[in-house]
Homo-oligomer: A and B are copies of this chain.
Amino acid sequence: MKIAILGAGNVGSALGTRWARLGHTVTFGVRDPHAGKVQALLIAAGGNASATAVAGAATGAEVVALATSWAGAADALSQAGDLSGKVLIDCTNPFVDGALALGHTSSGAERVAGWAPEARVVKAFNTTGSGNMLDADYQGTRPTMFLCGDDAGAKTVTAGLAQELGFEPCDCGPLTVARYLEPMAGLWVQLAYREGLGKDIAFKLLRR
């Protein structure tokens, strides 16, 4: 697939690198495509990856992954180009100063859908760390990738992309369920950084 990644921080870099290596055509939309850090990322990601300015980065992409900071999300979406009918995977969390800036009666994902009303928004890749996106193997066990959205086809595409990275996708329902998935990201951050468990932790939904 042709995938545009908005942002090349930890999450954007991890997702783009893995998907490029798996054979997808990946375009990173970044502030400065010629920055040394971006060039190093492209070398790591291999021949299927390229970098461009955020402006127009979504042009030609079937899937757009929003992987900016929360502060940069609205701007990136407004610059990225026409998102009509595209799968827009919201990987962000509305963290401001280390805490969720909104929740309960709304979610970052619902804000994103408001900023990109023509896109098919899926919330995913927000409940785990970027290290798990680079390597999802837990002694042979696959972590769950919880996702939600209002467009079934967009969720199927996103679930496939999660599965390719080694996750077990779990469709959690409509986009409003992001009100549960974003606090789950808060819990991941709480455990990894504040409780000192470190980044080698991941949530799994057990079934029997």
**Chain A interfacial positions (CB closer than 8 Å to B):** 100, 102-105, 137-139, 141, 143, 146, 170-173, 177, 179-181, 183-184, 186-187, 190-191, 194-195, 197, 200-208
Determine if A187 and B146 form an interchain contact, defined as CB atoms under 8 angstroms apart: yes
Given contacts A170-B191, A191-B205, contact A180 B183 (CB under 8 A): yes
CA A200 to CA B137, docked complex, whole Å: 24
CA A138 to CA B181, docked complex, whole Å: 23
- Counting every copy of the chain, the complex holds 2
Determine if B200 and A172 form an interchain contact, defined as CB atoms under 8 angstroms apart: no
Residues of chain B contacted by A179 (CB below 8 angstroms):
183, 186
Determine if B173 and A190 form an interchain contact, defined as CB atoms under 8 angstroms apart: yes
CA A42 to CA B139, docked complex, whole Å: 43
